[in-house]
Chain A
């Protein structure tokens, strides 16, 4: 039979353990290597100020990445997150301009994003459309809604809470970083310490087996798509505070970075493996890379290329090691 026993006393188990370990720690080594590299080649890299800078730069990605981690853990994908973030920002600004009392514009923004996520979830789990396709369509819908609400203009009336969380500080620390850290923390607690979190991992590891064990896998998948949308919405409403305005395309470009960071950290595209700690490492890799390339004298027009190559390398790595499931 194909899935025949590994004799427990045989060397392969050791080899597998080693592979599993290297898969787990490779992103950490990558991160350390990058930090070392940039520290050597730039005087301004390894400073407290720059470290704060990096955290600030990846904060929005972190909020979005928390939800994406849930989605990837169930072996689904959400290509609409950045567009839903834009949309949530637009909704918050739109209703603020429309003099809806605070905090209702924010509530409306999160509800609107959550509703789109629910549609993603139903399309994926109940109707059986690949999440790739549903969310691709949803990215157009969210984008279209943003354009329709703003009529293409930039909205400057923002909820005060967005402005505070997006660009304010408390005790010298940016609120944005605190929000990001809290989102990651909550995500981590849910994944590691709740029954739902276990269901997320098990659904991703083997959906059929999870179903056979009585897990409502359709419900789980719907829920993670909603979570992905809610964190995207949160990123949107604090993001407009950071930008100082809501535009109909504000966060659209963050999609690749957000998914890339999660995958860079080592969360499997095939589900069941990974988590928030991995996502944090991935975020830092991306942040250090982006920031470091600015500080060393690399051709500015090479930056995107280098980032892309490193992302591709991480993906290849991810697939390579996921392949052992088949072995």
Chain B
């Protein structure tokens, strides 16, 4: 086994997107027989780097060396031909096809012009047995198997296509603890058999267990490459966050405990034992009037789905959601009428970009504003009032939403719910992709709402967002609430730890 010469190297790789320097001066290498993990916050440059490695982004600066020879990947196909395969976060399998077909997707071996089925089944069985999954029947449709097997199928596909380097992007985010362990062991075995693996994950516990080396990215730069054996989660988090950590510690308005302020009041929203397979498990929470409750989790941890469930969009299989003591019921209309408001994590989902602001704002309230026949002047007047309150610029109710900046679009999405103030306001990712000024404005609106007695459930995968306004913070990981922070000073570091670190206990 060759261990010294790297299989793949990057020298001074950089990439700009318009005005944003996504990567700069990256030196990186991965050797045969090694799992090399890549960690960093959202936006640190992991996915850009991965796309360069997989040939998705061909126009970068710097040099890539594959097996000692400089190469420039033209496209993913080219990467695959060389032996670089990527396992995507969102799997690219076809659940209706059999396991074997999925493994040989797009490159079925032929014999005499027809698909050589016996060979497909034989080889699929062989590769799965090699990976330690001999019990999987390759003739069964993939959909009969859990997600872990889907992931496995992708890995098997990569291996049978002759991959030497396998890039795994957040491979465990949707897996159960058991499946996760299998996958981690499998990953180690791949390395042991002489392959190289680039492993990208938020879950530092997994990273320190599976990796030989860890490279930390921050703001598009490589901060360090460490031997996994000589580092720990604390050090990794510190490197990922940099100096910022101290700043955010201060930014948290700590010291107030929810018990002091709200214990006397009845909770407006109670979630009891809420469960939905592969989404969330046994979630309990209480939201009091006038409280901003932060719900933090990494992407895929089920926190956004919990928000959807409160709004009646997702039906839980067990548990209850009570609003002022009574079940909320199914469907947004009922939720709205009961005083629940909801802003989805993606603006594109919640807004009518091609329609004027006023139509976006008044849609839930048409019946109240003007009965059977919409009175546009009244709609415009109502809209004018609420968009001025949240500071939409320009405050022109007739302007189409698409002409507004992202921050202003988000304010429109929020303004809609000020027409009739809700009792419970579920906001998912309210400040994603905004500049600092717009973020602060949105946070101010949320604080004002809470001061007016609205219970705000602030859901986000950005620690800053949750820290900026919450009085109490719950952390979700893999569908469970794993930690509650009440009346203490919380840092971004602690949040990340709770979300990424406490997997050990969940397992």
Contacts and interface: CB of A to CB of B under 8 A. Distances in A.
B352 A209 contact: yes
A26 interface: no
Contacts of B353: 3, 206, 325
Contacts of A6: 402-405
Interface stretch (B75-83, B126-134, B258-266, B341-349): B341-349
B363 interface: yes
Given A6-B403, A8-B405, A209-B350, A195 B367 contact: yes
A3 B393 CA distance: 18
Given A205-B355, A206-B352, A212 B405 contact: no
Contacts of A211: 332
A204 to B, nearest CB: 10
Contacts of A13: 403
B136 interface: no
A205 B332 contact: no
Given A206-B352, A209-B352, A212-B344, A7 B359 contact: no
B109 interface: no
Interface string B392-421: 011000000011111111000000100000
Nearest to A216: B333
Contacts of B299: none
Interface string B338-381: 00001010011111111100010001101100111110000000
A2 B350 CA distance: 15
Q: Which of A1, A16, A205, A209 has the most CB of B within 10 A?
A: A209
A50 interface: no
A306 B348 CA distance: 40
Interface in A187-201: 193-195, 198-199, 201
Contacts of A2: 348
A325 B352 CA distance: 11
Interface in B417-457: 432-433
B354 A213 contact: no
Contacts of B366: 195, 198-199
B439 to A, nearest CB: 14
B364 A206 contact: no
A4 B433 contact: yes
A209 B354 CA distance: 12
Contacts of B349: 206, 208-209, 212
A165 B435 CA distance: 64
A272 interface: yes
B336 interface: yes
- Considering residues A210, A213, A325, which has the most beta carbons from chain B within 10 angstroms of its beta carbon? A213
Nearest to B399: A8
Contacts of A201: 355
A183 B288 CA distance: 53
A213 B405 CA distance: 21
A21 to B, nearest CB: 13
Nearest to B375: A193
B348 A273 contact: no
B332 to A, nearest CB: 5
Contacts of B347: 3
B416 A5 contact: no
Contacts of B394: 8
Nearest to B407: A5
B374 A193 contact: yes
Nearest to A195: B366
A4 B406 contact: yes
A40 B335 CA distance: 62
Contacts of A8: 393-394, 403-405
A212 B354 contact: no
A1 B335 CA distance: 30
Contacts of A212: 311, 313, 332, 342, 344, 349-350
Contact of B372 (A16, A194, A205, A208): A194
A317 to B, nearest CB: 17
A325 B348 CA distance: 11
Given A208-B349, A209-B350, A210-B363, A195 B374 contact: yes
A180 to B, nearest CB: 25
A5 B434 CA distance: 10
A202 interface: yes
A205 B352 CA distance: 7
Given A6-B402, A6-B403, A214-B364, A205 B354 contact: yes
Contacts of B433: 1, 4
Contacts of B342: 212
Contacts of A195: 366-367, 370-374
A4 B433 CA distance: 9
Contacts of A181: none
B409 A5 contact: yes
Interface string A1-31: 1111111100001001000000000000000
Given A5-B405, A202-B363, A212-B342, A194 B352 contact: no
Contact of B354 (A4, A199, A272): A272
Contacts of A108: none
Interface in A258-289: 272-273
A10 B113 CA distance: 57
A315 interface: no
Contact of A3 (B337, B348, B408, B416): B348
A215 interface: yes
Contacts of B405: 5-8
A159 B478 CA distance: 68
A207 to B, nearest CB: 10
Interface string A294-327: 0000000000000000000000000000000100
A186 to B, nearest CB: 14
Contacts of B313: 212
A213 B355 CA distance: 14
Interface in B306-334: 311, 313, 332-333
B25 to A, nearest CB: 26
A194 B406 contact: no
Contact of B404 (A1, A5, A215, A273): A5
A199 B362 CA distance: 11
Nearest to A12: B403
B73 to A, nearest CB: 24
A12 to B, nearest CB: 9
Contacts of B359: 198, 202
B425 to A, nearest CB: 14
B144 to A, nearest CB: 22
B61 to A, nearest CB: 24
Contacts of A199: 366
Given A195-B370, A202-B363, A272-B352, 19 more contacts: A1-B406, A3-B353, A5-B404, A6-B404, A8-B394, A8-B404, A8-B405, A16-B402, A16-B403, A193-B373, A194-B373, A198-B363, A201-B355, A205-B355, A209-B350, A210-B363, A212-B311, A212-B350, A214-B337
12 contacts: A1-B432, A6-B403, A16-B402, A198-B359, A205-B352, A206-B349, A210-B363, A212-B342, A212-B349, A214-B337, A214-B363, A216-B333
Interface of B: 311, 313, 332-333, 335-337, 342, 344, 347-355, 359, 363-364, 366-367, 370-374, 393-394, 402-409, 416, 432-433
Please list the 8 inter-chain residue pairs (A to B) with the smallest Cβ-Cβ separation, ordered nearest first.
A5-B405, A213-B363, A214-B333, A5-B406, A214-B336, A214-B364, A213-B364, A3-B348
